[in-house]
Amino acid sequence: TRYEGTQCALPLLADAFGLYYNKDAFAEAGIERPPRTMSEFRKVAAKLTERDGDRVERAGFMPNFRLYQNSPDRLFAQWGPRYFDAHGKAR
């Protein structure tokens, strides 16, 4: 946030990220560790989801739950999007 000794900007956030998960639910579903890829994440979410008929008793993942990091721009970063081409032009 400095350029040539001049403060140009201040950090917006000071987030510290961690993964919270329900170890008991994972064990019940036969899942040994948290997912490491988005493909694993999808499978784990499906295994964790419990239904009673049409009713969802437990959702393995709720993408519409309004947490700051659940926004699409945060999630699609997992697939390595490219915002600029080789010449620095926006795609």
How do residues 5-34 score in pLDDT, each as one tens digit? 888 887 777 666 677 889 999 999 999 999
Q: Where are the domains of the chain?
A: 22-91
Q: What is the mean pLDDT of the chain?
A: 85
Contact 51, 57 (CB under 8 A): yes
The one-letter amino acid at 17: F
Report residue 49 CA to chain centroid gap. Answer: 17
pLDDT confidence of residue 72: 73
Lowest-confidence pick of 9-18, 39-48, 78-87 = 9-18
- Of residues 6 and 72, more confidently modeled: 6
Contact 35, 76 (CB under 8 A): no
- Alpha carbon distance 57, 80 (integer Å): 33
- Of residues 60 and 9, more confidently modeled: 60
- Alpha carbon distance 80, 91 (integer Å): 14
* Residue 45 banded pLDDT, cuts 50, 70, 90: very high
With a threshold of 0.85, does the pTM exceed it?
no
